[in-house]
Amino acid sequence: MESRTQPTDIVTWAFSGTYDSSRTILIDAVNPARSITKQVAVGLVARLVGAFEEDTTVCLHLDNDILYPILSLSIYASKCRWTGSNTSNKVPELEHIFQSSNAKYVVTAAEHLEVVKAAVKSSGIGAEIILFADILELDRTPYQSPSCSRKFNPGHKSETFRDLHDLLSNGTPETLAHMLKDIDPQSIASLMSTSGTTGRPKMAARTHASTVLETAAIAKNEHDLKPYQVRRLFCTPTFHAFTMPELVINSIRLGHPAYIMKRFDDATFPAKIAEFEITETLAPPGVLLRLINNAACREQIQSLRAVYTGGAPLVPELKAKFLSLYPNEKPRIAPVWGMTEGGWFTTFKYPENDMTGSVGRPLPGFEIKMSLETPVRIADGRETGELLVRSQQLMAGYLNNPEATRTTFTDDGWLRTGDIGYVAEDGKVYLVDRAKDLIKVNGWQVSPVELEDALLISPDVKDSGVISSGEHVNEHPLAFVVRSDSSPDVTASELKAHMLTQLASYKVRSCEFQFINEIPRSATGKILRHELRALAVH
């Protein structure tokens, strides 16, 4: 691998690998005969480049698919800005994304068309909707909606949409290479929706150069000198900052086979690990929890050698429960800490296998320090604070939101992460909690994650989520608990007694409990605490 990363555009970087171009790299996990080699990937991007007007934003409102990386690279190659959205988003959420990114085009599948149409209409941006089609297939069936008023072809009575077949040209790898020479590495490549540390979703603007630096740092840290073939199964959302650098860029650049699922499900995911002898995967804690609770999958997941987990805290008890599924060689669990504003910040380099609860060491090119503006003292007496990061890999800022950008960065260029933690003497980074989620009980700071951790130790608990309830002197923890199948009648008093064996009494004595069927989580497994607040019974 390159010893030095030169500024370049994302597409040139993604296609810079020197392995056999006939190697299959993107594989449909459900239909493995449907696959893409590097040679096919280059050809498809060459035929799609220029399909979108330069200096515009293209939104991919799509589920995971082997063509998602191809479309993303085609957008970058066209000197456009890529943005992605969650297909579970409702009309108001999509409307905000379309407006804040100023989307000119939205690529979506037929099953999401009605929601996208409504969001485009209410946003007032006039974006063109382009329908997803499998351009790996020669046959095509144009999609027409008989009930729409906006017409792509004004002479038609029914609305007609272009699909991906209509975007294909006769471009060649040579014409693609010529077009890529004109891309400024410092130009904005990606707009990723994020709430940052506070507020409504904003668009974090990442340049070509920052993304190249990030993926080079991940590869240098994670892909060298492994004694096994890297075969990965992806089920986490492609548009998310946890997944995108590895799936869209490093899989293609490094030539590691990437099996792609539309989304996670309890039966298919472990079955595909067994079928393809998957050695690595990206899985947020929520996925690990579902595997733990799926007794039938134990034998199917034994080929795993590494699991990268991020998007939400991985408490030690959950990690221990997952590793207990492996009677012999246990996989390496590598936490990933980062933010949409800068991608991956930390992880552990192979073969380090940490068991201390750290989220890793800084990736090459990152500086991390603790702010002393708002110190928080934790149970062991250690002083913690908001973690600040600095790197050339960070976003250029929030699109069209200079005030939010100003408050997110310090005057000397450090990004405020909103995470409370510390950097140990040996360089390991530890998180305590999110600054905005800490609960103040009689003047003491209490971490929701710490309470969730204690609850998950109990065999009576399948899942848990904790929020703050009450105000001022009455502020206290409210624990939402999903009972385990073996303990459908466990009571709040029994759980409190259990927690008191794990935590200081001031953290537990005022805790209330509410039993629910499922903890609401994001696509990456992060607990949606705002939804828990809406469920709270007062």
- pLDDT at residue 200, as a whole number: 62
Q: Which of 185-189, 473-477, 530-534 has the highest mean pLDDT?
A: 185-189
Mean pLDDT calculated for residue range 55-66: 98
Q: Answer yes or no: is pLDDT of 338 > 90.
A: yes
CA distance 4 to 497: 56
pLDDT in tens, 235-244: 999 999 999 9
- Is residue 369 a part of any domain in this protein? no
Q: Which residues pair with 385 in a beta bridge?
A: 421
Query: Per-residue pLDDT averaged across 65-91, rounded?
Result: 95
Residue 144 confidence (pLDDT) above 50: no
Are the CB atoms for 243 and 214 separated by under 8 Å?
A: no
The tokens for 383 are 């002083």
Domain CATH code at residue 484: 3.30.300.30
Residue 230 has pLDDT above 90, yes or no: yes
Average pLDDT over residues 337-350: 94
Average the pLDDT over 362-372 and give the result.
Answer: 94
219 — pLDDT class (breaks 50, 70, 90): very high
Give the number of other Cβ atoms within 10 Å of residue 530's Cβ.
10
Domain finish residue from 187, 204, 221: 204
Spatial neighbors of 480 by CB under 8 A, at least 6 apart, are: 464, 465, 466, 467, 513, 514, 515, 516, 519, 532, 535
* Number of other CB atoms surrounding residue 116 within 10 Å: 24
For residue 1, pLDDT over 50 is answered with: no
**Model pLDDT, residue 150:** 38
Other CB atoms closer than 10 Å to residue 76's CB: what's the count? 29
Nearest partner of 263 among 524, 1, 536, 529, judged by Cα: 524
What is the pLDDT at residue 284? 86
pLDDT of residue 5: 65
Written as six digits, the tokens of 495 are 């759980």
Those residues with Cβ within 8 angstroms of residue 320's Cβ, 6 or more apart along the chain or in another chain: none
Residue 143: the pLDDT is 45
CB atoms within 10 A of CB 325: 19
For 443, the domain range is 438-535
Q: List the single range of 8-12, 66-70, 345-349, 430-434 with lowest mean pLDDT.
A: 430-434
Task: Compare 347 and 440 and report the one with higher pLDDT.
Answer: 347
What is the C-alpha to C-alpha distance for residues 353 and 476, in angstroms, rounded to an integer?
36
Of the ranges 180-189, 194-203, 292-301, which one carries the lowest mean pLDDT score? 194-203
Residue 24 lies in a domain: yes
Q: Please name the residue ranges forming H helices in 68-207.
A: 68-77, 91-101, 113-123, 164-167, 173-180
Is 231 contained in some domain? no
Q: What is the pLDDT of residue 538?
A: 54
Beta strand 512-515 with 332-335: parallel, antiparallel or unpaired? unpaired
Cβ-contact 388, 458 below 8 angstroms:
no
- Residue 203 CA to residue 109 CA, distance in Å, equals 23
Mapping DSSP onto H, E and C, the string for 436-462 reads HHCEEECCEEECHHHHHHHHHHCCCEE
Q: At what angle do helices 68-77 and 173-180 cross, to 10 degrees?
A: 50
Among residues 189, 204, 219, the one where a domain terminates is 204
| Domain-embedded: residue 472 | yes
Q: Establish if 455 belongs to a structural domain.
A: yes
Mean pLDDT computed over 495-514: 88
Provide the whole-model pTM.
0.82
Q: Do residues 500 and 508 touch, judged by C-beta distance below 8 A?
A: yes
Residues in the chain: 538
Whole-number mean pLDDT of the chain?
89
Beta-strand pair 159-160/376-377 = unpaired
Q: Which H or E run contains 505? A: helix 505-508
Q: Is residue 392 part of a domain?
A: no
pLDDT score of 402 = 95
For residue 154, pLDDT beyond 70:
no
Of the residues 204, 234, 264, the one at which a domain ends: 204
Query: Is residue 108 included in any domain, yes or no?
Result: yes
Q: pLDDT by residue (tens digit) across 285-318? A: 888 988 998 988 999 999 999 999 987 778 788 8
What is the domain-level CATH number for residue 144? 3.40.50.980
Round to whole Å and give the CA distance between 10 and 108: 23
DSSP 327: S
Give percent of the chain above pLDDT 70. 91
- The confidence score (pLDDT) of residue 383 equals 86
Would you say residue 444 has pLDDT above 70?
no
* 345 falls within a domain: no
Q: Bigger pLDDT: 379 or 21?
A: 21
Report the pLDDT value the prediction gives residue 147, as an integer from 0 to 100: 38
CA dist list (Å): 424 to 192, 259, 369: 31, 37, 10
Specify the pLDDT at position 440.
72
Whole-number pLDDT of residue 2 = 40
Percent of the chain at pLDDT > 90 equals 69
> How far is the CA of 178 from the CAs of 54, 186, 189, 208, 340, in angstroms?
15, 18, 18, 17, 31
Instruction: Tell me the one-letter amino acid at 275.
Output: E
Render pLDDT for 249-286 as a digit per residue (tens, 0 to 9). 999 999 999 999 999 999 999 999 999 999 999 998 88
**pLDDT value at position 379?**
66
Q: Kindly state the DSSP code that residue 110 receives in the 8-state scheme.
A: G
**Average pLDDT value for residue range 105-118:** 96
Distance CA 54, CA 188 (A): 12
- The tokens describing 152, both together, are 């792509």
pLDDT at res. 198? 54
User: What was the pLDDT predicted at 195?
Assistant: 61
Count of domains in the chain? Answer: 2
- pLDDT tens column, 15-47: 999 999 999 999 999 999 999 999 999 999 999
The radius of gyration computed from the CA coordinates of the chain, to the nearest angstrom, equals: 24
